[in-house]
């Protein structure tokens, strides 16, 4: 069978007092409609990246509501993930050559995982391209299938899109993070829009004391007496870590003691991340104020996001960017790339700042660090924006509504 991912028990009651009571009531209302259902979520990896993080927080809350929900990951290795990373890049607009061998690898792994699928499920939610073809290889399938696309596919490469299209026709519905992410020729008629969300009670996002945060940051070699800017994200070209280094260098000319922390997760389904990591090391190794970390613990990330002087998410394309809301929830100021889901979170000049170039990012870093008191009103408004729109009970309510609607239809 597919690999089942264990999750720690959680309770929706714990969010009372954090989100509005009306939202909690709505969650209970929709959950009662589907307590006798069996729902399966399938993705590529249990560690690294936003999808795994959302599922790790989301699945136990469904279970707490007596909704029969299981999370499983596909059985695969780098042979598949080299192909699906090319698909991922192609869906985001990069020109890709999809050869016969790549197609054969993708199809063989999906056919194999279709054979491993066990259980009688009412709904199966498939996340992103890696397991997309599984229902194509199943016969007499009465399950309702949902494709959850976490990628901005609005400008998808034609070769990748044409290849994946036949597999998409097996699905009953699809969920995107933004309506603008849906390609013009998308074959699934039933479409839903659900914004991702963070968990305010996870170890990464819960409140920690400043002294503890300072101790953690110091233990990683940084000097809390000098300004620190941080970006937390996968080492991925779309997150533009090399552009972050260039923006840091622009700012460093005016702020000589500036420090940069680049914190990346090495997801098992992203073999390209090691190549980007090596590029980062090569161009930063002579600068003692650039710190590069891989797979830090959640408490360490919490400290950097909450107590750096500024947080960046300078993505070129971004499905959502959970790290933006994570830092905003901790009442830190965020500079984000003016793209995709970051625009949902950052209202330019009100809940953070959006930038469109390396030069603009560097100048904005200088501006903010030169007048730190100017960010006080922005961070308060930013946290409330996250509280209202980007916490996990809202995600739970939205997807429970989708499950009920899908089965009613």
Per CATH, 3-197+392-408 and 210-389 having the same topology is answered: yes
pLDDT at residue 140 is higher than 90: no
> Averaged over 346-353, what is the pLDDT?
97
Which of these ranges, 81-85, 240-244, 270-274, 287-291, has the smallest mean pLDDT?
Answer: 270-274
Phi/psi of residue 331, nearest 5 degrees = 60, 45
Instruction: Tell me which long-range contacts 405-408 makes (C-beta under 8 A, separation of at least 24).
Output: 406/123, 406/144, 406/146, 406/172, 406/173, 406/190, 407/34, 407/37, 407/122, 407/123, 407/144
**Average pLDDT score over the chain:** 95
Q: How far apart are CA 145 and CA 125, in angstroms?
A: 6
Give me the residues paired with residue 334 across strands. Answer: 311
| Percentage with pLDDT > 70 across the chain | 100
CA distance 172 to 168: 9
The pLDDT score that the predictor gives to residue 281 is 96
Under 8 Å between Cβ of 144 and 122:
yes
pLDDT average, residue stretch 207-223: 97
Say yes or no to pLDDT of 28 above 90.
yes
> Domain locations in the chain?
3-197+392-408, 210-389
> What pLDDT sits at residue 409?
56
* 269 vs 138: which has the higher pLDDT: 138
- Is it the case that residue 143 has pLDDT exceeding 80? yes
Please give the residue that has the higher pLDDT: either 381 or 35.
381
Q: Which fold has domain 210-389?
A: Rossmann fold (3.40.50)
Neighbours of 140 (CB within 10 A): 4
Mean pLDDT of 247-258: 98
Class at the top of the CATH hierarchy for domain 3-197+392-408: alpha beta
CA-based R_g, the chain, Å: 21
- Residues 243-268, mean pLDDT to the nearest whole number: 94
Q: What is the pLDDT of residue 255?
A: 98
Q: Output the CA–CA distances (angstroms, integers) from residue 187 to 29, 158, 164, 379, in the order listed.
A: 32, 14, 10, 41
| 381 has a pLDDT exceeding 70 | yes
pLDDT tens digits for 86-137?
999 999 999 888 899 999 999 999 999 999 999 999 999 999 999 999 999 9
pLDDT at 254: 97
What is the reported pLDDT for 142? 86
CB 182 within 8 A of CB 191: yes
Q: Give the separation between CA 178 and CA 155, rounded to whole angstroms.
A: 13
Provide mean pLDDT across the span 76-92.
94
pLDDT of residue 311: 98
pLDDT digits (tens, 9 = 90+) for 154-199: 999 999 999 999 999 999 999 999 999 999 889 999 999 999 999 9
Cα–Cα distance for residue pair 102/82, rounded to 1 Å: 9
Among 71, 49, 244, 79, smallest CA distance to 151 is for 49
Do residues 192 and 176 touch, judged by C-beta distance below 8 A?
yes
Average pLDDT over every residue of 273-283 = 94
Which ranges in 331-375 belong to alpha helices (H)?
A: 342-345, 358-370
Query: Is the CB of residue 216 less than 8 Å from the CB of residue 303?
Result: yes
Count of residues for the chain?
409
Question: Per-residue confidence at 265, pLDDT binned at 50, 70, 90?
Answer: confident
Task: Determine the pLDDT at residue 51.
Answer: 93
Predicted pLDDT of residue 408: 78
Q: Which of 338, 326, 344 is nearest to 391 (CA)?
A: 326
In the predicted structure, residue 59 carries a pLDDT above the cut 90: yes
Predicted confidence at residue 243, as pLDDT, reads: 98
Instruction: Determine the angle formed by the axes of helices 392-408 and 50-64, rounding to 10 degrees.
Output: 70
What's the pLDDT band for 50 if we cut at 50, 70, 90? confident
């Amino acid at each position: 069978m597919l690999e089942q991912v264990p999750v720690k028990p959680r309770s929706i009651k714990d969010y009372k007092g954090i989100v509005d009571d009306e939202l909690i009531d709505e969650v209970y209302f929709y959950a009662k409609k589907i307590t006798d259902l069996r729902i399966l979520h399938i993705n590529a990896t249990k560690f690294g990246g936003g999808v795994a993080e959302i599922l790790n927080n989301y699945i136990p809350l469904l279970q707490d509501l007596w909704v029969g929900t299981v999370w499983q990951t596909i059985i695969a290795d780098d042979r598949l993930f080299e192909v699906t990373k090319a698909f991922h890049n192609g869906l985001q607009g990069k020109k890709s050559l999809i050869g016969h061998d790549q197609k054969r690898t993708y199809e063989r792994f999906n056919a194999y995982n279709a054979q491993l699928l066990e259980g009688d499920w009412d709904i199966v939610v498939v996340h992103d391209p890696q397991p997309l073809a599984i229902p194509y290889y199943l016969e007499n399938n009465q399950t309702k299938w949902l494709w959850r696309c976490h990628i901005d596919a609005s400008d998808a490469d034609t070769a990748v899109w044409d290849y994946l299209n036949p597999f998409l026709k097996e699905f009953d519905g699809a969920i995107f993070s933004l309506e603008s992410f849906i390609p013009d020729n998308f074959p699934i008629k039933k479409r839903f829009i659900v914004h991702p969300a963070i968990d305010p009670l996870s170890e990464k996002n819960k409140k920690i004391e400043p002294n503890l945060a300072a101790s953690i940051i110091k233990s990683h070699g940084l000097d809390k007496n000098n300004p620190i800017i941080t970006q937390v994200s996968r080492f991925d070209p779309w997150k533009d870590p090399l552009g972050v280094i260039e923006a840091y260098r622009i700012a460093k000319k005016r702020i000589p003691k500036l420090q940069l922390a680049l914190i990346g997760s090495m997801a098992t389904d992203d073999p390209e991340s090691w190549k980007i990591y090596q590029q980062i090391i090569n161009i930063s190794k002579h600068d003692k104020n650039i710190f590069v970390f891989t797979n830090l613990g959640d408490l360490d990330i919490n400290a950097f996001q909450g107590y750096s002087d500024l947080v960046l998410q300078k993505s070129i394309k971004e499905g959502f960017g959970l790290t933006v809301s994570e830092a905003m929830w901790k009442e830190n100021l965020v500079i984000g790339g003016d793209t995709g889901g970051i625009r949902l979170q950052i209202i330019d000049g009100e809940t953070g700042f959006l930038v469109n170039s390396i030069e603009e990012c560097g100048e904005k870093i200088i501006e903010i660090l030169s007048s730190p008191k100017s960010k006080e009103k922005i961070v308060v408004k930013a946290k409330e924006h996250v509280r209202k729109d980007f916490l996990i009970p809202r995600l739970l309510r939205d997807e429970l509504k989708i499950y009920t609607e899908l089965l009613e239809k």
